[in-house]
Chain A
Amino acid sequence: MADAVVRQPGVARPASARKRASLHNILRRKSTAAFLMTLPLILLITLLVVYPAFYSLHLATLNKSMQRFVGFGNFEFLFRRDTFWLVVKQSCIFAITAVVFKALIGFIVAHFVHNIPAKGQRKWRGMLLVPWVIPPAMSTLAWLWLFDPSYSAFNYTLAFFGIGPIPWTGDAAWARFAVILVNVWYGAPFFMIMYLAALKSVPDQLYEAAAIDGANWWQRIWYVTLPMMRNIIAITTLFSLIVTFANFDIVRILTAGGPLDHTHIFATWAFRVGIEGSDIPLGASVSLFMVPILAVAAIFILRDVNKRGNEA
């Protein structure tokens, strides 16, 4: 276009002026068309996401029969209950431990997959991603059966090594370990795939340059791989933090919060209180406690995603 303008200024100018007038016309029609195309999306988000979110705030201020406004009564009630603080503690332990192990295992496995010849990578990647593909409710049933106290396959195997039966879901500490283990099993493949994609995008020249400078494998990871992958690591970890923090399926099926509420996290406790205990306002207040941490993670993700957009 610039070429044309330089070569034939006389011809190009009137053409572009005419174009601008019709462009203005198109723009006017364009915005209505665009609005109509996004209307279903806007309606869906407003009616079924934004409205319930605010409705939840309203619900949290009502009493159990939802007749009377109690202000912060539900929150005061929660703060006085030991179970609530137990749930807060467990949610944090659960989310942080699970995310850290998922990220570490994902990082390590991604390196191993990246190491082997490209021809075989597809096959391995395919096998290692299976936990992420199976619906978590279904795979957690398999874990529940593996953990079964009397016919447990794990305890049968451990008995060979002379290790006594372990109460996988019966003892508080073991039950916490079990839910975290299942969560790590389910979530690590996601990290593996994300990191593998990031590893592939690091240019080989950087490693060659590092090798010429005499860097050992640790220095290559620390000074080349990690800085190049920083953005992906941040986004994946924050995203996983949200999903793990809000997890429901695994804890619900594996322990249902037991023994003695020692594995309840926000989602499962909100379900127990709000739906099973039919105290909807209290349940709504419990799940609202997830909002601050989710909001913080979401803000950081958004910042990183926008940064990526600007770089590209």
Chain B
Amino acid sequence: MSTMTIDKAGPRRNVKYGSMSRDRAWALRWSYFFLVLFAIFSLTPPLYMLITSLKSSAEISAATNPWWVFHPTLENYAELLTSNQFLRFFWNSAWVSIIVVTLTMLISVPAAFALARMKFWGSATLATGVFLTYLVPDSLLFIPLFKMFALIGDWTGVQLINRWYVLLFIYPTLTVPFCTWIMIGYFASIPKELDEAAIIDGASWFQTLTRIFIPVALPGLIAATIFAFTVSWAQFLYPLVFTTSTDQLVLPVGIITTLIKGDVFNWGQIMTGALLGAAPPLIIYAFLMDYYIAGLTAGATKG
């Protein structure tokens, strides 16, 4: 490291340059070596999904090298994508996620605006409460929620258990607190002069929100949307508890309960289903990686 300071000193730069770059080069080589190791560790399961999904059942049960596809085939994909059941899971997941994302945004954006800009009685407490709610895990609430919805069914006759739309009530408890929290952070970082100018020009609160806050905080809005979608798409415990009929299941639960039949594991199809289930979040991530990461880090650093 002393070489670094000498490098900055100027005149002696050429003398020490060789040894510094040698040190640097070695550090770099080691970094790359370990990064490759960690990348292999990270990517093995998804790649193995892909490898297995391209195999026929015969090749999977034959004791050949599992890391290589000898006779690639798309029969698993063809079978799943033409199966009404699987497509049903996919649509259920898609509908639940899209509606939940919309609901989340409709609830959390105005609330975040109010909490970030309009100080009112109890607003600070409510902001803290939102953050605490975000820390309440699904595994704490699934039993009372299940009982609550069962009782609602008994009392009012509106049967919500074992209907996919019951998830529309439940998923917002996971998405809204986090989205509100990061939107408060984004909104609070907007200079006060902007909305003061809007108010002076005669804009209403609603206009201030839609004309100024939403456009300026658009990156935050995108990050929150991605988060809400990923959470609703990946959620496993709630659909496992609340839905049982095969036509009401969402993708993760559907794959696990229908493709695993007793002790018979049709691994080719399971891996294909898992890969197709992982595809939407992966595609969003591939295109919007920076927003995804911004949302991830904002949760703990904003506010």
A139 within 8 A of B: yes
CB < 8 Å: which of A30, A122, A253, A270 contacts B139? A270
Closest-CB distance, B145 to chain A (whole angstroms): 5
Q: Which of A74-82, A161-169, A172-180, A186-194 contacts B (4 or more CB under 8 A)?
A: A186-194
Residues of A within 8 A of B133 (CB): 45, 49
Residues of A within 8 A of B199 (CB): 26
- Known A-B contacts A139-B46, A142-B271, A235-B300; the reply to A30 vs B118 at CB < 8 A is yes
Closest-CB distance, B180 to chain A (whole angstroms): 6
Closest-CB distance, B222 to chain A (whole angstroms): 16
Main SS of chain B's interface residues?
helix
Do B252 and A138 have beta carbons less than 8 Å apart? Answer: yes
Closest-CB distance, B40 to chain A (whole angstroms): 10
Residues of A within 8 A of B45 (CB): 131, 134, 139, 142-143, 146, 185
Do B143 and A56 have beta carbons less than 8 Å apart? Answer: yes
Closest-CB distance, B255 to chain A (whole angstroms): 7
Q: Once the chains are docked, how many angstroms separate the CA of A211 from the CA of B301?
A: 29
Q: Mask for B212-245, Cβ within 8 A of A = 1, else 0?
A: 0000000000000000001001101100110000
Closest-CB distance, A85 to chain B (whole angstroms): 19
Residues of A within 8 A of B236 (CB): 135-137, 248-249, 252
CB < 8 Å: which of B140, B144, B300 contacts A294? B140
Q: Mask for B162-192, Cβ within 8 A of A = 1, else 0?
A: 0000000110110011001000000000000
Q: Mask for B266-303, Cβ within 8 A of A = 1, else 0?
A: 01001100110110011001100100110011011101
Do B293 and A193 have beta carbons less than 8 Å apart? Answer: yes
Q: Mask for B126-138, Cβ within 8 A of A = 1, else 0?
A: 1011111101111
B141 within 8 A of A: yes
- Known A-B contacts A142-B46, A211-B4, A248-B138; the reply to A284 vs B143 at CB < 8 A is yes
Do A138 and B278 have beta carbons less than 8 Å apart? Answer: yes
Closest-CB distance, B302 to chain A (whole angstroms): 9
CB < 8 Å: which of A26, A139, A252, A275 contacts B143? A275
Do B144 and A52 have beta carbons less than 8 Å apart? Answer: yes
Of all chain A residues, the one with the shortest Cβ separation from B126 is A38
Residues of B within 8 A of A131 (CB): 42, 45
Residues of B within 8 A of A271 (CB): 139, 142, 237, 240-241
Do B120 and A44 have beta carbons less than 8 Å apart? Answer: no
Of all chain B residues, the one with the shortest Cβ separation from A201 is B301
Closest-CB distance, A229 to chain B (whole angstroms): 12
A309 within 8 A of B: yes
Do A41 and B234 have beta carbons less than 8 Å apart? Answer: no
Main SS of chain A's interface residues?
helix
A93 within 8 A of B: no
A223 within 8 A of B: no
Q: Once the chains are docked, how many angstroms separate the CA of A137 from the CA of B39?
A: 21
Do A115 and B42 have beta carbons less than 8 Å apart? Answer: no
Do B143 and A280 have beta carbons less than 8 Å apart? Answer: yes
Q: Mask for A110-129, Cβ within 8 A of B = 1, else 0?
A: 00110111000010111111
- Known A-B contacts A126-B289, A137-B252; the reply to A45 vs B129 at CB < 8 A is yes
B76 within 8 A of A: no
Q: Once the chains are docked, how many angstroms separate the CA of A130 from the CA of B282?
A: 8
Task: Tell me the B34-49 residues at the A interface (CB within 8 Å).
Answer: 34-35, 38-39, 41-46, 48-49
Do B256 and A253 have beta carbons less than 8 Å apart? Answer: yes
Known: A112-B35, A211-B5, A242-B137. 14 other contacts (CB 8 A): A33-B114, A45-B176, A48-B173, A51-B148, A52-B145, A128-B39, A136-B234, A185-B41, A194-B296, A243-B137, A246-B140, A248-B138, A267-B237, A308-B301
Q: Could you show 8 A-B contacts with beta carbons less than 8 Å apart?
A: A34-B114, A55-B144, A141-B270, A190-B296, A208-B8, A211-B4, A214-B2, A290-B140
